[in-house]
Amino acid sequence: MGKPGTGKTHHAIAIGMKAAQAGHSVFCTSVKRLATKIRKAQERGNLDILFKQILTTKLWLLDDWGVVSMPRDVSEEIFDLFDRRKHNSAMIITSNRDVDEWPQVFSDPVLASAAIDRMFENAHICIYDGDSYRMKGRIKFKEIDNE
């Protein structure tokens, strides 16, 4: 977790690459793309195929948690994925939002609480602080005197 541009995604991808080089299967996507994949699989009636693909990987990299809110049906499927994952795979989630804001991603507070509970089971939280690497040396913010 941390501000944009502090290296969360870069670090997650580096871990994913090392895992893949060691022979582990890796599923890497943004949460927005995952929600879109779930919605399309629902429409096509092949959600089980998508879930099998995701659930058989050993490492999940879910980028940008909390950037977009999810409709209830997608939230329920995300919860189902997290619940079925249990101890079969590792998961790295990146987010610009504080954990206190994560329930806003879900349309139902009970569903949010249950999903977040599963996310944090056996979790290690890394906080990324500092200035954005992307903005380094590009923009200087000036204080404006409004007097």
pLDDT for 98-143, tens place per residue?
Answer: 888 888 888 888 888 888 888 888 888 888 888 877 766 665 555 5
Average pLDDT along the chain: 88
pLDDT greater than 80 at residue 72: yes
Burial class (CB in 10 A: 0-12, 13-18, 19+), 129: exposed
pLDDT of residue 13: 97
What pTM was estimated for this model as a whole? 0.83
Q: Which residue has the higher pLDDT, 88 or 24?
A: 24
- Walk me through the domains of the chain, giving residue ranges and CATH numbers: 8-119 (3.40.50.300)
pLDDT of residue 11: 95
Per-residue pLDDT, averaged over 29-37, amounts to: 96
pLDDT greater than 80 at residue 57: yes
Q: What CA–CA distance (Å, rounded) separates 125 from 80?
A: 22
Residue 130's CB: how many other CB atoms inside 10 A? 11
How does residue 76 score in pLDDT terms, banded at 50, 70 and 90? very high
CA R_g for the chain:
17
Q: Which residue has the higher pLDDT, 23 or 121?
A: 23
Characterize 16-35 residue by residue with b for buried, 16 or more Cβ atoms within 10 angstroms of its Cβ, and e for exposed. beebeeeeeebbbbbbeebb
Q: What CA–CA distance (Å, rounded) separates 113 from 79?
A: 10
pLDDT of residue 136: 67
Residue 132's CB: how many other CB atoms inside 10 A? 13
pLDDT of residue 147: 55
pLDDT of residue 141: 56
